[in-house]
């Protein structure tokens, strides 16, 4: 992933301010955060407490992950903030049931970004948050999954930090963990995978710019976000770079929801199986020996139609 979410350059940090030295985990003193370990709202600069945030109407932004689609997977913190926010800016993968949880009277603004259809360019979303916060609004920026996993959360926060807007980040269940759990595919397993890699399979000019030798290593699981269009390229490149063509792989559409569908096969068979099944985004691709476990562990079948076909590459539909 490009390092577009690096912290802004660090200014000297006062002794005792909690900065780590010598590593890459530097404190970023320009960041203004709402969080204190006691749970009290606070404003900090350079790791030092400046003042308690006014109890009244000081504007701020909450960057909140809404989870992978199933509203029940929303965090308690996210739910509480939905009851508090004046404005909710939401993306297209946020479940409508979650948007509907916003308090009565809250303004809801759709700023969703779908492939090749952006309602608002990213820069304008960033500026909108700054403007609303400066008007004294409590802005809840609601994003699918986790805001820091392929969600441009870092870019949005950088803008807020540069503008001196107080913010809080609320993690969400990312698609990889949520979808894998609901598909019955443990991402790591002592017998099959000791590592797990998340990558984006977004095609650029018809190609995927990925570190193929690193992805084709054995004993690991590769999870691909936004990879459906590039599935044939992905499977082919993994085999070219050394993974056996018989490596199990799956595509899961709308995981965690009643519309969940999963197609399981191998690197050799999966592109055709997925095409025949007519899968559509959002989908997550999981590659690795752990995919075999779905035959035993698939538990989520909202309509009772899950089939487990042993080791046969098969279309397994849960939902």
Which residues of the chain form contacts with ligand SAM (CB under 6 A)? 68-69, 93, 143-146, 149-151, 174-175, 179, 225-226, 252, 254-256, 281-284
- Of 67 and 248, which has the nearer Cβ to ligand SAM? 67
C-alpha span between 296 and 179 (Å, rounded): 16
C-alpha span between 229 and 111 (Å, rounded): 23
- Dihedral angle computed from the Cα positions of residues 200, 202, 204 and 207, in that order, rounded to the nearest 10 degrees: 80
Q: Which of 274, 297, 76 is nearest to 180 (CA)?
A: 297
Q: How far is the CB of 281 from ligand SAM (least distance, A)?
A: 5
Q: Does the active-site annotation cover 296?
A: no
- Of 63 and 85, which has the nearer Cβ to ligand SAM? 63
Q: How far is the CB of 228 from ligand SAM (least distance, A)?
A: 7
Q: How far is the CB of 5 from ligand SAM (least distance, A)?
A: 12
Q: Does the active-site annotation cover 143?
A: no
User: CA angle, 221 as apex, 216 and 225 as ends, to 5°?
Assistant: 95
- Of 44 and 256, which has the nearer Cβ to ligand SAM? 256
- Of 27 and 222, which has the nearer Cβ to ligand SAM? 222
Q: How far is the CB of 191 from ligand SAM (least distance, A)?
A: 25
Cis peptide before 282 (omega within 30 of 0): yes
User: CA angle, 194 as apex, 189 and 195 as ends, to 5°?
Assistant: 115
Q: Which of 67, 35, 226, 257 is nearest to 146 (CA)?
A: 67
Where does 146-288 have alpha helices with state H?
153-163, 175-183, 212-215, 231-240, 270-277
- The CB-nearest residue to ligand SAM is 145
The separation between the first and the last C-alpha atoms of the chain, rounded to the nearest angstrom, is 32
- Of 26 and 92, which has the nearer Cβ to ligand SAM? 92
Q: Which of 40, 80, 91, 191 is catalytic?
A: 91
Q: How far is the CB of 247 from ligand SAM (least distance, A)?
A: 20
Q: List active site positions.
A: 91, 113
């Amino acid at each position: 992933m490009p390092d577009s979410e690096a912290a802004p350059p660090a200014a000297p940090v006062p002794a005792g301010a909690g900065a780590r030295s010598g590593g890459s985990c530097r404190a970023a003193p320009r960041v203004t955060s709402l969080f204190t370990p006691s749970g009290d709202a606070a404003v900090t600069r350079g790791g030092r407490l400046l003042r308690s945030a006014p109890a009244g109407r000081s504007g701020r932004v909450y960057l909140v992950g809404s989870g992978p689609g199933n509203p029940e997977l929303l965090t308690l913190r996210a739910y509480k903030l939905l009851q508090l926010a004046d404005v909710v800016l939401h993306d297209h993968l946020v479940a409508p049931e979650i948007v509907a949880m916003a308090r009565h009277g809250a303004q809801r603004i759709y700023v969703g970004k779908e492939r090749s259809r952006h309602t608002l360019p990213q820069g304008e979303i960033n500026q909108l948050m700054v403007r609303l916060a400066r008007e004294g609004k409590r802005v809840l920026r609601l994003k699918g999954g986790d805001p820091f996993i392929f969600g441009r959360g870092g870019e949005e926060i950088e803008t807020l930090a540069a503008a001196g807007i107080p913010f809080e980040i609320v993690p969400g269940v990312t698609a990889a963990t949520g979808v894998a759990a609901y598909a019955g595919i443990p991402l790591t397993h002592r017998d099959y995978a000791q590592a797990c890699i998340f990558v984006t399979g977004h095609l650029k000019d018809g190609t995927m710019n990925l570190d193929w030798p690193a992805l084709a290593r054995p004993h690991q699981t590769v999870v691909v976000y936004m990879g459906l269009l590039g599935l044939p390229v992905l499977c082919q490149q993994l085999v070219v770079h050394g993974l056996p063509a018989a490596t199990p792989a799956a595509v899961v559409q709308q995981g965690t929801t009643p519309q969940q569908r999963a197609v399981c096969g191998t690197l050799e068979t999966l592109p055709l199986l997925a095409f025949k099944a007519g899968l559509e985004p959002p989908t997550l691709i999981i590659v690795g020996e752990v995919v075999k476990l779905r035959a035993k562990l698939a538990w989520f079948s909202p309509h009772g139609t899950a089939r487990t076909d042993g080791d046969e590459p098969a279309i397994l539909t849960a939902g």
